[in-house]
Amino acid sequence: MKCEACQKNNATVHLTDVSNNTKREIHLCDGCAKDQGVTIKSYLNKSPSYPEFLTQIVHSQSEATAEERDLTCARCGMTYRKFRSTGKFGCPNDYVAFKKGILNLLEKIHGKVQHTGKVPLRASSQIAVQKELRCLRADLEKAVREEAYERAAKIRDRIYELEGRESQA
């Protein structure tokens, strides 16, 4: 495969960028990669370790409220402020002690605070219907908040349809 930059040498550096559900590949020779500042060493140096990554996420969160800053775990003595600076918990009880701050952090990262994974194939259709109803209710709330009333009406009708089928089962 030829280098995409110079079209002369064989490509020895292959980069893959996946963002916004789009995969983009770049193939460069050693010379062009160096010219563009792409080396394995520089790439690895830019990639933070997991604790550093978590710390960056925690620091990117907006300032904690005064109530959150004063939280302290009764079991290990870890403060919420220390958790935010290190990105590490002191004990399992910290999940309970810092629940409010953690929920805010998870919502900021993932958009939701509740796991909404797949329904197993062996599960009954009723579980799938319940999951769809939860998703539709969230979509309905969002549509109303955005004042998209036509979309909200369609979602509401679908909810009524599913609830009717659920009560017959």
Per-residue pLDDT tens digits for 94-105? 888 888 888 877
Q: Distance between CA 98 and CA 84 in Å, rounded? A: 11
DSSP-based three-state secondary structure for 154? helix
Distances from the Cα of 65 to the Cαs of 69, 147, 166, in angstroms?
6, 30, 43
- Of 62, 97, 57, nearest to 77 (Cα)? 97
* pLDDT attached to residue 139: 93
Confidence of residue 126 (pLDDT cuts 50, 70, 90): confident
Confidence of residue 65 (pLDDT cuts 50, 70, 90): low
pLDDT digits (tens, 9 = 90+) for 48-59: 444 554 454 444
pLDDT higher than threshold 50 for residue 14? yes
- Quote the mean pLDDT of the chain: 76
| DSSP letter assigned to residue 120 | P
- Global pTM exceeds 0.85: no
Q: Are 2 and 10 in contact (CB under 8 A)?
A: yes
